[in-house]
Structure 1
Amino acid sequence: MDTTRNERLTAWMKEHGHSSASLADAVNSAMERFAGRPGGHDGASVRAWKSGRIRWPNTATRKGLEAVTGLPSTDLGFVPRGGAKSTTAPNQEDPDMKRRTLIGGLAATAATAAAVPGIAPRRIGNTDVERLQRRFTEIIASDHRHGGQLNIEKRAAALADEALNLQNSGSATQRVRSNLYAAAAAFRSSAMWAAIDGRRYEDAQEHMREAQALAEMSGDQAIKFRIWSHAGSMYRHMGRPSDAFAANDVARGLHITRRDPMFASLGLARQAAIHGAAQERTGVRRAFDQAQTAMDRADAQASRPVWLVAFYDQAELDSLALSAYLALGDYQTAEAHAHRCLSSLRPHMVRSQAITQTRLAHAQLAQGDVDAAVDAAMKVPTAAATQHARVSRMLNEFGAALRATAPGNSTVKSWTEHTAAWRASA
């Protein structure tokens, strides 16, 4: 039996960050969408496809693979029995049928437009893409002002659906369609981040899976990086450092990090924060040194996505360092990074300023500087203190630590009165 290795499938998996197990899961989920029950594949099944031991999977499996990858089976290196061409690509079966595309474990619905006799289809162009990109900029601005709000999450998810609906509304070039998928993925990733920031982790994981699907269809490396990097942050906040490392490694493995040191720097900075959560002091220092080096050699004039330009700079690097060293219990170093971050934060980073002030208060209290800690905590705006889930939780923890650390200190009463005023004005 000819068992020539399937290099095309192997190359596709490497490019898109799939292990044998993750591709099996994605195909199983795709099969469930159109067959009503999941497939039974595992890592061994995928290894059989890669090795060439299975050269032409059954029809249901081929449909699942084509849904996941967006490619005909023959383009994935599979060889039809008798030399026949694959005919299972969803848009070849029925041009009027909605096709389901699942990539990375979740379905993203993409329907081809039905032709209406005698009526020319609308032409979708760059102006439609540019309009969506302007709306994305608005979402980014709202996130940096407020962060974590359910209305931001819902608005971003609705805009993702709007971008997908455009796929139905007329004809377009492949480039425009790819840009629409990228826009939908960008909106979903913002919905994902809003849910993470609001500690709505189940919702965040749902958005993540759909964002991953859309990003794969778009082929946009930058948005793939954003989604996987967000996933790393999500698992870090959930207290799952092993999963956080795995997700962040996917982001750092994309070739965009080799093309642009700024992406490499962000990936390394978030890796360092995960090392902090995992109590790996050496890993923290090494990753931050590498992140700083990468940032220093990045071209400041290079063209980058609005979401990256809007937040990643020296202040954000120090913010991630603050988080890492706080988790390690190195409060003096954490405080130094907090002051550096606050000194260079841009005015629109309202949410980040509130988080940094709160972390600074924790670092100062842990060093016994009660007055300075309470002063820092009181600088957090009322809106963030009462409406941002992550900030509210950290401030509640600060209050508990303050009462335990300095039960007889007059600042405890001041803090209690201050938080009562927050709640009254919220």
Structure 2
Amino acid sequence: MDTTRNEALGAWMKEHGYSSNTLAEAVNRALEQLTGRTGGLDGSSVRDWKAGRVRWPKSATRRALEDVTGLPATALGFVPRGRTPSTPAAPQEDPDMKRRTLVGGIAVAVTAAAAAPGAAAPRRIGMSDVNRLQQRFAEIIASDHRHGGQLGIEQRAAELADEALNLQNAGSASQRVRSNLYACAAGFRSSAMWAAIDGRRYADAKAHMREAQALAEMSGDQAIKFRIWSHAGAMYRHMGRPADAFAANDVARNLHITRRDPMFASLGLARQAAIHGAAQDRTGARRALDQAQEAIQRANPDDYRPVWLLAFYDQAELHSLALSAHIALGDHPTAEYHAHRCLATLRPHMRRSHAITTTRLAHAQLAQGDLETATATAMQVPADAAMQHARVSRMLQEFGSALRATAPRSSIVQTWTAHTRDDWRATA
């Protein structure tokens, strides 16, 4: 039996500060959320993974591990049964390579240096180079779900987009490889765009969007086109421009990938519902949410999907978008219901989403007159998110203003003021 060490898992654990025992505990908790039964893993189970003695854990364990890390099992170095691990052999035009993206771990550096002038023979660029870029894309996705909206994430994603484009000039490559390089560059630009949207840097987001759209057209990749136009719809919704949001989201929803895969259709419809909410269209929002729910239930969980979709879109995110729609519509009891459902099913790595959902829940509770519960909820938002995440920070400032307007002289306002003064500033 091949027991090649799983270096990718070890690298992820080292980066995120997990020991074998603490990772086992985290996966056990995720298993309990998934199955209703506590997992039986311990430190020796994780050590077996790292040593390569277990190359493909059981399906429930894999899903729980993916929930904890925010990455597909293959990105963590696990190899499906019947396959052999990737090796650094010469690039081959393997027709199944697209289904094995991210294999080999998340800590491999991208080699994007152009060939030196006057070199005897140009370098051959292959799918192994594409895979290394996709590994870095997984890192960007994971960072976004941990921190969200940070300028550093935006800048790093933009740099990696440039590295992907540099590879186009670094040597010879097949058309298939070149199309994949453009798709990688478009993916990085779309992540830079989303970080700028999340950080409310809309002028920068639009600049990233224009470049991402051009790159996506050159790649011909339907999934990344969907991501870019769907992000554009979200951007215009946050900017208070629902007509533009509808137009952009419709481009995403009309791509043929939404007819082929109900998961893409569901995401497009859920975001459409949030736009209907911003436009004060109650009927449209409810219809789109019903359709999004029906589509996600039809989706085959075993179908291949890109890492960015796997990392965030599920039932919890659908509840999050429903929460956004109903908050905008002023239907605060329904918004509170979706907030609780979202928080109950949100995967552990979705820290940014947890902070946003908790803040929206506090707003829904305050709007219903439950000042004490709303304030207690708002105080659960981690101080780093409250201080460093632009969307969360603004929503909490709005919460404080609404609280003071509702009960200007109450002890609850004093409690909130002390919390923001002492707890938040301690992390500044």
- TM-score interval for Structure 1 and Structure 2 normalised by the shorter chain: 0.7 to 0.9
Inter-CA distance 167–322: structure 2 relative to 1 (3 Å threshold): same
Per-residue CA deviations over 1:31-79 (Å, capped at 9, x if unaligned) read xxxxxxxxxxxxxxxxxxxxxxxxxxxxxxxxxxxxxxxxxxxxxxxxx
In structure 2, the residue matched to 1:290 is 291
Q: Shift of residue 119 of structure 1?
A: 1.6
**Within 2, Cα distance between the matches of 1:368 and 1:114?**
66
**Within 2, Cα distance between the matches of 1:215 and 1:332?**
41
In structure 1, the residue matched to 2:192 is 191
* SS across alignment from 1:243: helix
In structure 2, the residue matched to 1:351 is 352
**Within 2, Cα distance between the matches of 1:204 and 1:154?**
12
In structure 2, the residue matched to 1:240 is 241
**Within 2, Cα distance between the matches of 1:321 and 1:354?**
16
Which amino acid is 1:378 matched to? M
Q: Shift of residue 115 of structure 1?
A: 10
In structure 1, the residue matched to 2:154 is 153
In structure 1, the residue matched to 2:335 is 334
Which amino acid is 1:411 matched to? I
Instruction: Give aligned pairs, total.
Output: 314
In structure 1, the residue matched to 2:164 is 163
In structure 2, the residue matched to 1:424 is 426
Per-residue CA deviations over 1:257-302 (Å, capped at 9, x if unaligned) read 0000000000000000000000000000000000000000000111
1:322 aligns with 2:306: no
**Within 1, Cα distance between the matches of 2:138 and 2:426?**
33
* SS across alignment from 2:291: helix
Inter-CA distance 408–163: structure 2 relative to 1 (3 Å threshold): same
In structure 2, the residue matched to 1:267 is 268
Per-residue CA deviations over 1:136-164 (Å, capped at 9, x if unaligned) read 00000000000000000000000000000
**Within 2, Cα distance between the matches of 1:194 and 1:379?**
24
Inter-CA distance 116–321: structure 2 relative to 1 (3 Å threshold): same
Matches within 5 A, 1:19-30: none
**Within 1, Cα distance between the matches of 2:137 and 2:241?**
30
Per-residue CA deviations over 1:388-423 (Å, capped at 9, x if unaligned) read 000000000000000011122211111001001202
Report runs of 4+ in structure 1 exceeding 3 Å deviation.
113-118
Which amino acid is 2:272 matched to? Q
TM-score by length of 2: 0.72
Inter-CA distance 410–118: structure 2 relative to 1 (3 Å threshold): closer
Superposition RMSD on alpha carbons, in Å?
1.2
Q: Shift of residue 425 of structure 1?
A: 2.1
In structure 2, the residue matched to 1:384 is 385
**Within 2, Cα distance between the matches of 1:122 and 1:142?**
32
Is the 8 Å Cα contact of residues 384 and 427 (structure 2) preserved in structure 1?
Answer: no
Is the 8 Å Cα contact of residues 115 and 123 (structure 2) preserved in structure 1?
Answer: no
* SS across alignment from 1:311: coil
**Within 1, Cα distance between the matches of 2:118 and 2:388?**
53
TM-score by length of 1: 0.73
Q: Shift of residue 114 of structure 1?
A: 9.2
In structure 2, the residue matched to 1:249 is 250
Per-residue CA deviations over 1:180-233 (Å, capped at 9, x if unaligned) read 000000000000000000000000000000000000000000000000000000
* SS across alignment from 2:265: helix
**Within 1, Cα distance between the matches of 2:396 and 2:316?**
22
* SS across alignment from 2:311: helix
In structure 1, the residue matched to 2:57 is none
Percent identity, please: 79
Matches within 5 A, 1:110-259: 119-259=120-260
Is the 8 Å Cα contact of residues 148 and 195 (structure 2) preserved in structure 1?
Answer: yes
Structure 2, unaligned stretches of length 5 or more? 1-113
**Within 2, Cα distance between the matches of 1:398 and 1:266?**
28
* SS across alignment from 2:381: coil
In structure 2, the residue matched to 1:107 is none
Inter-CA distance 117–156: structure 2 relative to 1 (3 Å threshold): closer
Q: Shift of residue 118 of structure 1?
A: 6.9
Q: Shift of residue 324 of structure 1?
A: 0.4
**Within 2, Cα distance between the matches of 1:231 and 1:255?**
18
Q: Shift of residue 364 of structure 1?
A: 0.1
Structure 1, unaligned stretches of length 5 or more? 1-112
In structure 2, the residue matched to 1:27 is none
Which amino acid is 2:421 matched to? A
**Within 1, Cα distance between the matches of 2:173 and 2:187?**
20
In structure 1, the residue matched to 2:408 is 407
